[in-house]
A = this chain, B = another copy of it.
């Protein structure tokens, strides 16, 4: 959890272009919105979750098959699926004992592609 910075005392810092700072300050989106955006990207910032998402591009899969695919424990996958679920990136469908997960968002593939473009450059 990141804490607010209201109580800090950084008033006396040097400024080069005070006018610009004030102008940009007014244009900045709400603190909370930017925080949520960072939280959203944080979900993509783990290679296990990236692999899970990539796998779900190919096919809807159940927890134990994802665990097998990635050679990781069922528990670890389940924990990560919860993170993805909380960010509304995946949805699930129960079928008896097994639970099938699928992608829940059309933006995801585009975001991946743009990320790929960057790291390939």
A→B interface (CB under 8 Å): 2, 5, 8, 10, 13-18, 20-21, 23-25, 27-29, 33-51, 54-55, 58-59, 61-62, 64-65, 67-74, 88, 98, 105, 107, 110-112, 114-119, 121
Which of B25, B46, B54, B114 is within 8 Å of A69, CB to CB?
B25
Known: A54-B29, A111-B111. A15 touches B117 (CB 8 A): no
Structural contact, A38 and B64, CB atoms closer than 8 A:
no
Known: A16-B62, A34-B47, A50-B37. A107 touches B117 (CB 8 A): yes
Which residue of B has the minimal Cβ distance to A36? B119
Prevailing SS type, chain A contact patch: helix
Report the separation of the CA atoms of residues A121 and B88 in the bound assembly, to the nearest whole angstrom. Answer: 10
Structural contact, A34 and B50, CB atoms closer than 8 A:
yes
Structural contact, B38 and A46, CB atoms closer than 8 A:
yes
Structural contact, A115 and B37, CB atoms closer than 8 A:
yes
Which residue of B has the minimal Cβ distance to A50? B38
